[in-house]
Structure 1
Amino acid sequence: MRKAGVLALIGRHADAVPELVRALEVLPATSSVEWQARTRIWLGYLQLCLGHLDVAEREVLRAKEMLRGSEASMLRLTAIENLAEIAVAGGNLARGLQLFGDALAEYAQVGAVPRFVVVDLLAATYLSAGLVADAADLLDKFVGTPLPVVEQAELHLRQSSTLLAAGDLSRAHDIAIRSAEMFQKQGRTWFERRARLVAAASGHDDPDQVISLARALDAESAREAPMALTLAGRLSRPQDRLALWTRAASYRTHPNALVRAAAWHAQSLAHEEQHHRGGVLRAAAAGLDAIDEHRRLIGSSELRALATTHGRDLTTIALRHAATDPRTLLRWSERTRATALAQPPATSDAATIPASLAALRDNGRRLAEARAEGEPTDALERERLRLERAVRSESHTLSATTAEQQKPPTVEEIVAAVGDGCLVELVDVDGTVHVLVTHAGRVRRKVAGSTEEIAALLGPTQMLLRRASRGRATDMSALGGQLQEAILGDAVRLIADGPVVLAPTARLHGLAWPLLPVLGDRPFSVVPSAGQWLRARATPRPAATRRRTVLVSGPGLATGGAEVPLLAASHPDATLLAGRDAALERVLDQLDGADLVHLAAHGNFRADSPLFSALDLADGPLTVHDLERVRRAPYRVVLSACESGVLAPVGAEELLGLAAALFSLGTAGLVSSVAEVNDTATADLMVELHASLASGADPATALHRARRQAADDPVAAGTAAAFLALGV
């Protein structure tokens, strides 16, 4: 058994298996349950490395059962850790993270420090889930600490993989080379190959060496083989490229969905090399289907959105080949954007608030009080970070509540729904914005500016809106013209008179769109995708006899929530929650199934962790995690806080934030801001908005009327420009 362990350590997995089988033939005679279990755990690990996941799980489960009631707690922990690794290898991230959490909890219970191998595996799982910053934070704790030389090499390998995922190519390459040299000295060829693959993916490597490495990984049928062969194909001579990509594509039936997706990407490159456009698009579709399968098991909104990162290369090549035909480009744009919003979030128990979430809200209340009174907050800030980590970790272990996947709409469905209206969808194709205009049965395309050119205008836009929010008169007309030219270009001439539905790229979702002259004096709504717009249109409004209006006024507003009493007067049947009544559980209870909800509360958008974006209530912040516990989404919501509609672009054209959470729950329409807003001007704007809503106008029309009323006052106009109607 020890010999097999040494063989495993140096990566000779196939040679180690017979040694363990022979050990198991002898061990029963010794009546040592622990040694039998230890041997089966090793055997499970080796079968995992060889890609035999079912056999691996069976052996480790047998070992775990043998240890039931045993005092060998550390050995039982090893079994749990191996089961976690097997779950992740099989694509079940939620299950893997849950098992790793169980193992770490047991370490804490027995007062032991987790072994480095556990941290290494957990970091690898974070990388699979797209949680690059979490992996880096986990590994940073071991940098500079004394580790056995074997584990030092493994730490460097995982560090380099993390830096590669974060886009720090130079450091990733240097650390990967250091790791590879250490593995070479240790005679650990299996590990050395993986370190050299990271170095190759980071650039600066000799093409012939990369090709040789790819073929070696292919010879052992490694999960990394499709990636290595694809990279080798990019670096090889044209006459050799197709063979390497075709070989990478042979992994299309691999049990791991992400490996299959990588193989389909190679297949799409092979078709591209042969100028076979149809083959490229079919291969890309199959690869994205594999990623959908991977995502289908995930309950966490964050992990579902991040999972699309694995499809970024597939999306890029598909859009490139779809761009020549407007209808094909529209179909592919809808296939690859805001897909996570089509699946409702999972919660552990919608009726009971998790203890960590309740503690986080209490911490938020105490933090606000301490800041208001000028007291030290360092300890509370540390506690907040700890609680946020706990809440995120718990959410990551949730499995999906349904295996059904919402299919994107067909182009025919979109065209029919638009009718005589106008849908403008923006698509980023290789760094250039393509504008698709759907109207009166036609889909037409124009090419606008570059994403770099547009990005350079976003900072000045936010600066001007910030000036307006602080009461300084600002002329935004010149900047609005620049934005329109860069984003829409000649497509402006295709936009029909009347209301518009705008589906921007994820990066542009939070732009103050009213600044564009073509949109400034017409009703328009912003949606993440045409598919989300169709779902919003199909959402039934509560029956007239069951329609409830809810008005909420949070603490600390400069105007004291001045619009809320006025709105209450015009909605005598509304439920009013103000002062202490504006507490989270009461607010969530009233949100459930309401027709119209107005939330006047300070907002805080968290770019670093969008699901902790929050609205301040009497007893602490209402976060996205809280919103996801609502059983029935409110039909329409007005969020009057600063930045309440800001969404973080993540993955491949996905969005996270307060508005995204409401959309995924089933809310049909929202009005919210994408920048800082002036409190006094906001109060006036909200009164005008609600007067129009009460007359039967939809949010886009109501907001348009309110903007017109504010047009003569530069500060009011700037505030109105920061608000968008989302959905219907």
Structure 2
Amino acid sequence: MRVDAAALHDQAKDLIRAGRLRDGRRLLDRALSGAGDPDTRAALTGTLGYVTAELGDSAAGLRLLDEALAGDGVASHTRGTLLAQRSLLWSRLGRPRSALADVTAALPLLPEGSADRARALLNRASMFLDQGNALSADADAREAARAFDELGLPVQSAKARHNLGYAALLRGDLVTAIQLLTQAREVLATLSEQLSAMSTQDLGEALLTAGLVAEGTELLQEARTAFRRARLPRLQAEAEFVLARLLSTQAPAEGLGLARVAAARFGRLGLDTWQLRCEAVMLACRCELRAAHPEQARRLAAQLRARGLSSDALMVLLLAARASLRRGEPVTDPRLPPASAPGVRLLALAVRAERAQVLGRDAQALAILRRGVEELLHWQSQHGSLDLQTSLAAHAERLSRQGLDLALGGGRRSAVYTWVERTGALASRVAPLRPPSDPQAMADLAELRTLAQSAPKPGTAEAVQQRELFERVRRRAWQDEGSARVNRLVPLGHVQDELGATDSCLIAPLTGLGRAWALVLGHRRATLTDLGPVDRVRQELAGLPADLDLAAADLPAGLHETVRVSLGDRLVRLDSLVLAPVARHLSARRVVVNPTGIFSGLPWTLMPTLAGRPVTIPGSASAWVSGRERPHEYALAGFAAGPRLARAEPEVRRAARSWPGARTLVGGEATASAVADIAGRVDVLHLAAHGRHEPDNPLFSHLELVDGPWYGYDLDQLADIPEVVILSACEVGATTIRRGDELLGLTTAWLHAGARCVIASPASVSDAVAEAILPDVHQRLAHGVMPADALAEAAAGHPGLVSTFQCYGAGW
């Protein structure tokens, strides 16, 4: 039977584009057996060479392509296709200059508007991406996407948009990157395991770049496993390389081991340039572990530059400079190309600051570090998602710590204030931009509520669906655009004027230089006190959460008293370490507490030094001043009682008596939609329900309503935000501390959404405490008393109760 070589070739190419390489190779072998004319044989041989290389034998694949190009009778269009294919092999072999030369020579030979030319542009975009040239990659990928759209080729168009997404990632535009990579993944994941894994890998890299370490690592491990299962060792090694590179700063020992595995795998495949790139990652890991040698780094940078890998070479040179500085060797200021990625720019600024510090130019070092933090803030402001804003702070962790340590070492209280403000709760300085209501997100959250009520068992279809919905809600939020605006830092003098005007003082407990410190501000005075080794505070903090939870539990009288005494003793010890040394400076009636890092979870209202005094925890002094500037009026109040909490209905009914015309939702009325409706209409919102803080996904922390959990993500769908929110529930005042000392939880979500202040508990809540104290708070709020004052007065009226409720935001 006669073989139609051209038809088989077309079928083979379709299989190859779908990632079914071995099936495609079988068809190519059949087609070659029936190919007669030189042009057809050359085209088939070239495609076979490409597939052979993709399956692991790059040298054999290159020989086949050279053979095809050397033959006579090859048409111009076919020669262009062969050059484009060979350019891909050069790229796989780590020969970027040869790859670019071939694909650039191929483009004039391929007809304008043809699919082959569009594919060549797409491949050249990938090569530019490998070199870190985002602008050139973006131009080629856009032209390819337009051509594929005109040709009606949606799969190829998805691949082009995938490359556009990766180019956005290199520029630091994570919103666009996640949007495009997610959209492309939805198409590519349906075609083959290979394409699914490739799109998963790049999305994982985007999430790791965003500082979402657990989520990004999970996707990269998933891609690595898929490549191994499909017996694609080169792609498996690439996934390992990407993961190792991204772990180099966050888990350098793990990254070092993984880079060695990838290098060995590339070595077995004969891909020496990829081995060099792995050596660059190993060097980055050793630099973090303080085991890098600068001369070795400079030699490696020269080798990378010789291979055309200028982006990798630049990173290695920055690491070489850092290693030299640590050895006391002189270095010059690193210079960067104008289009360098944000992560590279931040590393270069850190190196410049280290150099200035070594030269004794502390003021210059602080100026450089300030520029770095401001660049990070600008990057954060491009993203509307609080989840992404807080995770991105990890990129400035080193800059922030270095700046704060320099300020502490200099002993100037104004400099310490500025760096506490500059580095604590960075995301709070980003001007929020409320996203438009998203019907799909609302539907997904409603479906999650329904699933949560059935409590799916692990491994069931319902549990899988629940996980997919969690991921979809979160990823849709990541795609929200930011305001691109950063709120100003309030000068120290202005803060002190506000403190004086409100009979307040401010304490900012912090850590630096291996010690604990307290910066205290009053109307005309600022003090900085060394509190001693930070480990002493950590030891006392270790058992605090358990003590707080036990104190709120329903225990027999004798045991309850024992627990209460134990908690009291621990609080006295903590107070002696943190507050007692500065108590004489905390003479004002009210106290603004601006804790960072390990101090963020303390129950400040229970600390002996602060007993009975109004306390507010705003996130930063600037946030407190800004919150105070907003006009406030408590005219309307709304209440809701969740299910399976006996005290909830009596509590909200009693509290509502203080507010004429208050709307109260109890029993079957307290649904998510009804609560959302009143939340958008009132000035004061009180929710009494079971609550849960989710440390791994803080914006899925929730309150239990009659139709299921009401999540942090639900706040984005509200028409308006109440001025004061009272969360009468366990744990929902708790926060997850992310790298860079960024806090995330329900309280931060409400404040970010626009609430002026939130009253909540960072620990379990005693029913007796909530039912006694919170109605009394409302009685005072309704008469115009400020929230923190109302809470302090209400708690003082019940001296026998241990209240962990605190005021977050601008409490007065």
TM-score, normalization by structure 1:
0.91
In 1, the alpha carbon distance for the partners of 2:240 and 2:478 equals: 26
Report the alpha carbon displacement of residue 378 of structure 1 after superposing the two structures with TM. 4.5
2:687 equivalent to 1:605: no
In 2, the alpha carbon distance for the partners of 1:47 and 1:370 equals: 48
In 2, the alpha carbon distance for the partners of 1:292 and 1:395 equals: 19
Match of 1:349 in 2: 436
User: Cα deviations across residues 161-208 of structure 1 (Å, max 9, x unaligned)?
Assistant: 3544552x4332222112123334444344323322332333375524
Alpha-carbon distance change, 479 to 4 in structure 1, aligned in 2, over 3 angstroms: same
Report the alpha carbon displacement of residue 683 of structure 1 after superposing the two structures with TM. 0.8
Match of 1:387 in 2: 469
User: Cα deviations across residues 549-605 of structure 1 (Å, max 9, x unaligned)?
Assistant: 111111111324321111223323111122222222221222125221111111110
Match of 1:310 in 2: 395
Look up the equivalent residue of 2:792 and give its one-letter code: H
Matches within 5 A, 1:139-218: 139-141=220-222, 142-143=224-225, 144-164=228-248, 166-167=250-251, 169-203=252-286, 207=293, 208-217=295-304
User: Cα deviations across residues 109-159 of structure 1 (Å, max 9, x unaligned)?
Assistant: 657763433232222211111111112221333325243221122122133
What SS does structure 1 have at the residue aligned with 2:489? coil
The more displaced of 272-281 and 201-210 is: 201-210
Residue pair 2:435, 2:716 contacting (<8 A) in 1 also: no
Match of 2:10 in 1: none
In 2, the alpha carbon distance for the partners of 1:314 and 1:252 equals: 21
Match of 2:134 in 1: 53
Match of 2:570 in 1: 479
Alpha-carbon distance change, 449 to 722 in structure 1, aligned in 2, over 3 angstroms: farther
Report the alpha carbon displacement of residue 69 of structure 1 after superposing the two structures with TM. 4.3
Report the alpha carbon displacement of residue 485 of structure 1 after superposing the two structures with TM. 2.5
Residue pair 2:699, 2:713 contacting (<8 A) in 1 also: yes
Residue pair 1:699, 1:725 contacting (<8 A) in 2 also: no
In 1, the alpha carbon distance for the partners of 2:416 and 2:248 equals: 31
In 2, the alpha carbon distance for the partners of 1:262 and 1:253 equals: 15
Alpha-carbon distance change, 186 to 711 in structure 1, aligned in 2, over 3 angstroms: same
What SS does structure 2 have at the residue aligned with 1:38? helix
Look up the equivalent residue of 1:250 and give its one-letter code: R
2:114 equivalent to 1:33: yes
2:346 equivalent to 1:261: yes
User: Cα deviations across residues 431-457 of structure 1 (Å, max 9, x unaligned)?
Assistant: 422211111222210011444332222
2:207 equivalent to 1:122: no
User: Cα deviations across residues 67-96 of structure 1 (Å, max 9, x unaligned)?
Assistant: 124354443222111111111111111101
Residue pair 2:496, 2:521 contacting (<8 A) in 1 also: yes
In 2, the alpha carbon distance for the partners of 1:491 and 1:627 equals: 39
2:783 equivalent to 1:692: no
2:423 equivalent to 1:336: yes
What SS does structure 2 have at the residue aligned with 1:154? helix
Match of 2:671 in 1: 583
In 2, the alpha carbon distance for the partners of 1:276 and 1:341 equals: 30
The match for 1:708 among 779, 793, 796 is 796
Residue pair 2:623, 2:809 contacting (<8 A) in 1 also: no
In 2, the alpha carbon distance for the partners of 1:588 and 1:342 equals: 27
2:662 equivalent to 1:571: no
Q: Percent identity?
A: 25
Look up the equivalent residue of 1:160 and give its one-letter code: A
Look up the equivalent residue of 1:619 and give its one-letter code: D
Residue pair 1:258, 1:290 contacting (<8 A) in 2 also: no
The match for 1:516 among 594, 607, 613 is 607
Alpha-carbon distance change, 289 to 725 in structure 1, aligned in 2, over 3 angstroms: closer
In 2, the alpha carbon distance for the partners of 1:376 and 1:159 equals: 28
Match of 1:87 in 2: 168
Residue pair 2:683, 2:724 contacting (<8 A) in 1 also: yes
Match of 1:358 in 2: 443
CA RMSD of superposed structures (Å)? 2.5
Look up the equivalent residue of 1:396 and give its one-letter code: W
In 1, the alpha carbon distance for the partners of 2:526 and 2:311 equals: 42
2:490 equivalent to 1:409: yes
In 2, the alpha carbon distance for the partners of 1:21 and 1:172 equals: 36
Look up the equivalent residue of 1:636 and give its one-letter code: V
Look up the equivalent residue of 2:122 and give its one-letter code: I
The more displaced of 524-533 and 45-54 is: 45-54
Report the alpha carbon displacement of residue 59 of structure 1 after superposing the two structures with TM. 1.4
Match of 2:544 in 1: 461
TM-score, normalization by structure 2:
0.82
2:583 equivalent to 1:492: yes
Alpha-carbon distance change, 526 to 560 in structure 1, aligned in 2, over 3 angstroms: closer
What SS does structure 2 have at the residue aligned with 1:696? coil
The more displaced of 114-123 and 695-704 is: 114-123
Look up the equivalent residue of 2:569 and give its one-letter code: A
2:769 equivalent to 1:678: no
Report the alpha carbon displacement of residue 348 of structure 1 after superposing the two structures with TM. 5.0
Look up the equivalent residue of 1:122 and give its one-letter code: L
In 1, the alpha carbon distance for the partners of 2:603 and 2:415 equals: 29
What SS does structure 1 have at the residue aligned with 2:765? coil
User: Cα deviations across residues 647-689 of structure 1 (Å, max 9, x unaligned)?
Assistant: 1112312221111111112211221001011123311121222
Residue pair 1:504, 1:527 contacting (<8 A) in 2 also: no
What SS does structure 2 have at the residue aligned with 1:598? strand
Look up the equivalent residue of 1:534 and give its one-letter code: V
| Structure with bigger RCO (C-alpha 8 Å, 6+ apart) | 1
What SS does structure 2 have at the residue aligned with 1:550? strand
Residue pair 1:234, 1:241 contacting (<8 A) in 2 also: no
What SS does structure 2 have at the residue aligned with 1:445? strand
User: Cα deviations across residues 215-258 of structure 1 (Å, max 9, x unaligned)?
Assistant: 54577574455553343334347677431xx35x3127444232
Alpha-carbon distance change, 381 to 119 in structure 1, aligned in 2, over 3 angstroms: closer
Match of 1:504 in 2: 595
In 1, the alpha carbon distance for the partners of 2:598 and 2:450 equals: 32
Matches within 5 A, 1:638-657: 638-657=726-745
Report the alpha carbon displacement of residue 692 of structure 1 after superposing the two structures with TM. 2.4
Look up the equivalent residue of 1:657 and give its one-letter code: G
Match of 1:666 in 2: 754
Match of 1:107 in 2: 188
User: Cα deviations across residues 481-503 of structure 1 (Å, max 9, x unaligned)?
Assistant: 21113223522232114111110
Report the alpha carbon displacement of residue 55 of structure 1 after superposing the two structures with TM. 2.4
Match of 1:18 in 2: 101
Alpha-carbon distance change, 570 to 75 in structure 1, aligned in 2, over 3 angstroms: closer
Look up the equivalent residue of 1:387 and give its one-letter code: L
2:453 equivalent to 1:368: yes
Residue pair 1:362, 1:620 contacting (<8 A) in 2 also: no
Query: How many residues are treated as equivalent by the alignment?
Result: 708
What SS does structure 2 have at the residue aligned with 1:710? coil
4+ long deviations beyond 6 Å: 237-240
Residue pair 1:448, 1:485 contacting (<8 A) in 2 also: no
Residue pair 2:188, 2:199 contacting (<8 A) in 1 also: no
2:550 equivalent to 1:550: no
Match of 1:270 in 2: 355
The more displaced of 227-236 and 457-466 is: 227-236
Residue pair 1:254, 1:260 contacting (<8 A) in 2 also: no
What SS does structure 2 have at the residue aligned with 1:632? coil
User: Cα deviations across residues 329-348 of structure 1 (Å, max 9, x unaligned)?
Assistant: 10111111222123355565
> Structure 2: where are the runs of 5+ without partners?
1-83, 555-559
In 1, the alpha carbon distance for the partners of 2:342 and 2:261 equals: 31
The match for 2:647 among 552, 556, 559 is 559
What SS does structure 2 have at the residue aligned with 1:674? coil
2:509 equivalent to 1:426: yes
> Structure 1: where are the runs of 5+ without partners?
none
The match for 1:439 among 522, 536, 543 is 522
Look up the equivalent residue of 1:570 and give its one-letter code: S
Report the alpha carbon displacement of residue 60 of structure 1 after superposing the two structures with TM. 1.4
